[in-house]
Amino acid sequence: MARVTQEAVEAALRGVVDPGSGRPISDEGLVSNLVVRDGNVGFVMEVPADRGHAYEPVRKAAEDAIRALPGVLSSSVVMTAHRDQDAPAQPAGGIDGVKAIVAVASGKGGVGKSTTAANLALALAAAGRRVVFLDADIYGPSAPRLFGLTGKPETDGTLLYPKLAHGIATMSIGLLIGEDQPMVWRGPMVQSALEQMLRQVAWGEADIMIVDLPPGTGDIQLSLTQRTPLAGAVIVSTPQDLSLIDARKGLNMFRKVDVPILGIVENMSYFACPACGHRTEVFAHGGAKQEAARLGVPFLGEIPLDIRIRETSDNGLPIVAAEPGGHLANAYQEVASAVLESLPGARPQGPRIVIE
Ligand code: ADP
């Protein structure tokens, strides 16, 4: 099949009209960061901040016009609202109503970062904190699957409304463009999508925002950590030496930008046989703990390798919500307590009640 070209896409976009001026959106400077790769097309549509609602049909028309071209496999247009030139620039600061932002990071993919982030969020909520969740893993969003969320988020034209997942307000790029859409985005598109998900979402009041970062220590992670005042970072690692080396990279990245490391979680730490209860150290268990001690950062706890953790995540009800009080939920609950310990600002005000 013929491959779609940049020129063909630009020609198609000349047929999509800006309702404000009656002129093609491409002439109005609304099209930026156009990417055409292997039949996958995407661009960012920048619209005035107060007109977001009015432009939703235009965004859709642009997506449809691209999709109608021969050779197009996918089409995604992401709308971002920019402020007037004259209006004061929005500083890259905290998020109104959110007291502490905690990033969950890993040196590489597949170590269980997203699973840990989701269960940590649920465990913090179970410990009485108001928690919101941002899935910033732009290349592999997993919050919709982990939390069983479907459908696009609602919008009032200016703000996106997060979806409630077991009491936790959640936003994910996967909700905006579908999990199966290939990501053909370039750095700047990712940047503006992330900014929008952070700052143009009606998060409400929260004690803690958990941000599930993309794996690794690339530019996206770096700029997010630079532009957002993080209360701290949690590093997820498996016990294998290799990923520990990767975890070290993560630590260094946060240190470079002066983000406090709240600690390391060892995931897939050991295997408890469901039949006989025998505990097998599949990998060199304890590696993360030693490494944390060596690096002088807190060790936040260990999560076993357990089929129930995977099954419950795939079913949209992570283990902390599926089996509260169970030994696996308790493992995450311990991590949550350790995170709260490392996060002085998030401790509850008023007296601590101890029940003996
Ligand atoms: P990452 O975000 O690091 O890429 P995920 O959280 O998506 O990793 O986890 C990768 C896979 O491993 C998923 O299928 C998940 O269900 C599974 N998984 C994660 N942690 C555990 C665990 N402790 N026990 C069993 N399976 C796990």
Structure confidence by residue, pLDDT tens digits, 235-290? 999 887 666 777 788 888 888 888 899 999 999 877 777 777 777 776 666 677 88
- Domains in the chain and their CATH numbers? 6-82 (3.30.300.130), 98-342 (3.40.50.300)
Residue 23 CB partners (closer than 8 Å, separation 6+): 17
Element spanning 77, H or E: strand 74-82
Whole-number percent of the chain with pLDDT over 90: 43
pLDDT of residue 83: 52
Q: From atom 22 of ligand 1, which residue's Cα is the shortest distance away?
A: 305
pLDDT of residue 285: 65
Please tell me what DSSP assigns to residue 356. -
Cα 149 → chain centroid: 14
Instruction: Specify the ligand 1 atom closest to the Cα of 109.
Output: 4
185 vs 251, which has greater pLDDT?
A: 251
Between the CA of 296 and the centroid of ligand 1 the distance, in Å, is 26
Q: From atom 5 of ligand 1, which residue's Cα is the shortest distance away?
A: 112
Average pLDDT of every residue of the chain = 84
Between the CA of 306 and the centroid of ligand 1 the distance, in Å, is 10
The overall longest dimension of the chain from CA atoms, in Å, is 72
Q: Which residues line ligand 1 (CB under 6 A)?
A: 106, 109-115, 142, 215, 267-268, 303, 305-306, 309-310, 313
Q: What is the pTM of this model?
A: 0.76
Between the CA of 207 and the centroid of ligand 1 the distance, in Å, is 26
Query: Would you say 207 and 231 are in contact if contact means Cβ atoms under 8 Å apart?
Result: no
120 vs 2, which has greater pLDDT?
A: 120
The dihedral formed by the CA atoms of 262, 304, 167 and 343, expressed in degrees to the nearest 10: -10
| Best residue among 310, 311, 319, 320 to mutate for probing ligand 1, ranked by most atoms within 8 Å of CB | 310
Instruction: Specify the ligand 1 atom closest to the Cα of 117.
Output: 6
Query: Would you say 355 and 348 are in contact if contact means Cβ atoms under 8 Å apart?
Result: no
Between the CA of 314 and the centroid of ligand 1 the distance, in Å, is 10
